Amino acid sequence: MWFSLGWHDIKHRYRRSLIGPFWITISSGIMVGCIGLVFSAIFRTPVAEFLPYFATGQIMWLFISGQISDSCSTFIQHQSIIKQISVPLSVYILRSLWNNLILLFHNLIIVAAILLFTRRGFSWEIIYALPALVLIITLLFLVSITLGIVCTRFRDIIQVVGVSLQLLYFLTPILWKKSVLPVEYSWITEINPFSNMIEIIRAPFLGHAPAAMLWVHLLAYIAGATVIALFFIRNYRHRVAYWL
């Protein structure tokens, strides 16, 4: 069900528009290109080195932050359906997740183009990207369920999440590299789950295997998020219709 609904959302974007979601590819492509060129000049790093690093991180960030901010209003957006028929809440979350994932695949064209353009190409380490993506999706799913339920009850959390995401963008090594961080501040990336998610999926694209600790941490985040999500599902799943 979520599969056909998410697919439907994408088809909706293609309607009355020749290239549909590729507008998003174009706009994020332009953004990645411009910021990449400007900052490689500011940081005095060669474009061929900075651009692939930044592009991969940025595109993944767009996926992760896009899904998290969508999840806050998912139930509110579909309230006309939720108030009429009984469908598991996870269907709505999977629908938006699937939607964002398809957009990610549109955007990955940019990453592929940049990697080829800067002659980095792909190496066999790219296969690590697959399990990394699966784990990221799992974590996002769990976080989305929790946020969806909480934001339906407390509507101002939606704004809090929006502001936090903006802040986290600068605390996550996307524009900058971990190595430029003074040692006393390195904990920022250690405890930041976004940093973990970005790094674990960026490494395979740049031809490295992700560090073992990244897998361990990500699995720990998933375990934690599972406990929280289960708590909210068990206790508040039936309240969502009342809160809408």
| Biggest alpha carbon–alpha carbon distance for the chain | 58
User: Contact between 80 and other proteins (CB under 8 A)?
Assistant: yes
Q: Distance (Å, rounded) from C-alpha 62 to C-alpha 157?
A: 20
Stretch that binds other proteins, among 50-58, 83-91, 137-145, 169-177 (CB under 8 A): 83-91
Instruction: Name which of 180, 205, 27, 199 is nearest 118 in CA terms.
Output: 205
Classify burial at 215, counting beta carbons within 10 Å of its beta carbon; exposed 0-12, middle 13-18, buried 19 or more.
middle
Q: Distance (Å, rounded) from C-alpha 216 to C-alpha 236?
A: 30
Cβ proximity to other proteins, 87 vs 126, nearer residue: 87
Cβ proximity to other proteins, 117 vs 242, nearer residue: 242
Contacts with other proteins, 141-180, as mask; x by CB under 8 A: ------------xxxxx--x--------------------
Question: Cβ distance 233 to 145 under 8 Å?
Answer: yes
Contacts with other proteins, 16-55, as mask; x by CB under 8 A: x---------------------------------------
User: Contact between 84 and other proteins (CB under 8 A)?
Assistant: yes
User: Contact between 86 and other proteins (CB under 8 A)?
Assistant: yes
Number of residues forming the site for other proteins (CB under 8 A): 26
Least Cβ distance, residue 186 to other proteins (angstroms): 32
**How many angstroms from the chain centroid is the CA of residue 19?**
23
Q: Which residues contact 10 (CB under 8 A, 6 or more apart)?
A: 20, 21, 99, 102, 103
Positions in the binding site for other proteins (CB under 8 A): 1, 4-5, 8, 11-12, 15-16, 80-87, 153-157, 160, 238, 241-243
